[in-house]
Amino acid sequence: MADQDYRDDIEETQAKEIETKETEIEKSQRQETVSGEKESEYEDVCFICRRPESKTGKMFKLPQNISVCDDCMHKTMDTISQFDYQGMLNDPAMFSNPAMFGSFGGPEDSDDENGGNKKGFPNIRFVNIADLQGEGGIPNKQKLKKKKKSSAPVLDIKDIPAPHKIKASLDEYVVGQEHAKKVISVAVYNHYKRVATGTMDNIEIEKSNMLMIGPTGCGKTYLVKTLAKLLDVPLAIADATSLTEAGYIGDDIESVISKLLAAADNDVEKAERGIVFIDEIDKIAKKKNTTSRDVSGESVQQGMLKLLEGADVEVPVGANSKNAMVPLATVNTRNILFICGGAFPDLDQIIKERLTKSASIGFAGELKDKYDNDKNILSKVTVEDLRKFGMIPEFIGRLPIIYTLQGLTKEMMVQILSEPKNAILKQYQKLLELDEVKLEFTPEALEAIAEKAMERDTGARALRSIIEEFMLDIMYEIPKDDNIGTVTITKEYIQGTGGPVIDIRTNYLPDNNA
């Protein structure tokens, strides 16, 4: 009887253990399911090139939870295959050293008493990955959160603002330049209509790249920056002065698209709908009377022809030039809007020469100095003038929209100081608000600042440098005294014949009854 009870207790205990194990297995499976769902929101990142799995495809899994993409693995193996190490890799005895290769081979294959191979690899030491771990060590898994792909199209024609709305938004930030804002609004509207619709009735709409010409400081770069911010599209601003022909020191022409790809977070589809602004385009004009190879002039213009027109370009990801260890991405530039801008110094002289050349003598003759005081002389530019400046005809032909920006007048300077949303004066007023001090400017002071800026002849950039000069002492002294309530900048302070008007706060006045 006692034996029967003992057997029953054992069977009951075993049943409970089995039930407990089944419960633990189900629990672990649920945890694996949950963890799998969590991990499904993430993806592996290549340990070498740092690209996510969505860009590289399936990865190789290495110890320490390290993932390497197919490109980096093949490049590594191609590099290793170039060296034979004098046939050592083909010698089976080399793999019998457990210190190097773990448990390959046994003591019977060894040449010394410790079970190792006396030959080994001469002057070669294999690195243990665990030795490379720093304070935090190699992370168990490099992961990047996947972006949820929306079913909606990237660009919908209904979401493109009309030209008058684009211009109204630009008016809030950019003063003047009415013609330029109208041209750029219509061109951008037509371009993104073309991108959103593709071909209509078998009629393919060509791309409308732009060339803007204007003196320094008139707002060329600022206009494009504001436009990209309003449209919420990736924007890359490149400098043509650093571009050189392929094979020479400097940035390759493809680096322009590489910057756009970086601005689009390496999303090729998003980058193919972006805007590229190439500044200082006048610096790649043909060099005159030179005997050396023109690697940064005409050759760069020729290299950019297919880029502007539309072609599949292989660009390095995260670098300015192609090399063996940089992954490449193929970007189609057909739907990328290119805006080129430059000051084109001395172009006004070419225009004056053309205008006064037609009839310089006789009753219909024009004086040589007729256009010397014309502020809008650049608006009379023609393709022939640009060709004479040094731009090749093929390059100009791929920039069908050519427009000019006006030089800034004194009245425009005063407006720039105070009217835009992020005007310079508003920025300083915000800075002093943090110190609970109110900053004011008299109208005469604004005119005095504009007059000083006109003398420097560097456009709107001169305004900030002038304000920095006379605001230095104010910004330095105000934090010293908590009693200051209002600071008024006067014309005399700008001209150096007086000082600012400082008002004390009423709540800081001493109490006479105390």
Q: CB of 41 within 8 A of CB of 29? A: no
Count of domains forming the chain: 4
CA dihedral sign of residues 48, 49, 54, 56: negative
- The alpha carbon of 437 is separated from its chain's Cα centroid by a whole number of angstroms, namely 37
pLDDT, residue 210, reads 92
355 and 261 in a common domain: yes
- Which residue(s) pair with 364 in the sheet? none
Q: Is residue 297 part of a domain?
A: yes
Minimal CA–CA distance to 250: which of 258, 242, 262?
Answer: 242
Minimal CA–CA distance to 214: which of 353, 407, 460?
Answer: 407
What is the Cβ-side half-sphere exposure of residue 513, based on CA atoms within 13 angstroms? Answer: 0
Q: Determine how β-strand 143-145 pairs with β-strand 42-44.
A: antiparallel
Quick check: helix, strand or coil at residue 423?
Answer: coil
- Domain end marker among 103, 120, 145: 145
301 and 289 in a common domain: yes
**Which two tokens mark 17?**
């253990």
pLDDT, residue 152, reads 43
Task: Determine the Cα–Cα distance for residues 226 and 172; give it in Å rounded to an integer.
Answer: 10
471 and 438 in a common domain: yes
Sheet holding 484-489, edge to edge: 438-441, 484-489, 501-504
462 and 316 in a common domain: no
Domain of 358? 157-404
- DSSP letters of 68-117? E-HHHHHHHHHHHHT--GGGGGG-GGGGG-HHHHTTSS-GGG-SSTTS--
Q: Is residue 26 part of a domain?
A: yes
64 and 185 in a common domain: no
Q: Is residue 134 part of a domain?
A: yes
Task: Determine the Cα–Cα distance for residues 450 and 411; give it in Å rounded to an integer.
Answer: 8
- Domain end marker among 385, 404, 423: 404
How far is residue 224 from each of residues 29, 114, 124, 505, measured CA to CA in Å? 55, 72, 56, 43
Q: Is residue 2 part of a domain?
A: yes
282 and 389 in a common domain: yes
476 and 375 in a common domain: no
pLDDT, residue 35, reads 44
Q: CB of 217 within 8 A of CB of 259? A: no
pLDDT, residue 444, reads 92
Q: Is residue 150 part of a domain?
A: no
Q: CB of 53 within 8 A of CB of 39? A: no
pLDDT, residue 393, reads 92
Q: Is residue 17 part of a domain?
A: yes
Q: Give the CATH number, domain containing residue 489.
A: 1.10.8.60
Q: Is residue 119 part of a domain?
A: yes
- Domain end marker among 91, 111, 145: 145
Q: Determine how β-strand 484-489 pairs with β-strand 438-441.
A: parallel
pLDDT, residue 24, reads 60
pLDDT, residue 207, reads 83
pLDDT tens series, the chain, 514 aa: 555 665 666 667 766 666 665 566 555 555 544 444 444 567 788 888 888 887 777 888 888 788 888 888 888 887 776 655 555 555 555 555 555 444 444 444 445 554 444 445 455 454 555 554 444 444 434 444 444 444 344 455 567 788 999 999 899 888 888 999 999 999 888 888 888 776 556 777 788 899 999 888 888 888 988 888 888 788 888 889 888 887 788 888 888 898 899 888 888 888 888 889 999 999 898 877 666 777 888 889 998 998 998 889 888 887 766 766 778 888 999 889 999 999 898 888 898 888 887 555 655 556 666 666 677 788 889 999 999 999 999 999 999 999 999 888 889 999 999 888 888 899 999 999 888 889 999 999 999 999 999 988 888 888 988 999 988 988 898 888 888 889 999 999 998 888 888 888 775 444 444 3
Q: Is residue 385 part of a domain?
A: yes
- The alpha carbon of 155 is separated from its chain's Cα centroid by a whole number of angstroms, namely 20
Q: Give the CATH number, domain containing residue 376.
A: 3.40.50.300
372 and 361 in a common domain: yes
343 and 311 in a common domain: yes
Cα radius of gyration rounded to whole Å, the chain: 35
55 and 35 in a common domain: no
362 and 242 in a common domain: yes
165 and 132 in a common domain: no
How far is residue 332 from each of residues 54, 387, 501, measured CA to CA in Å? 19, 29, 59
pLDDT, residue 26, reads 58
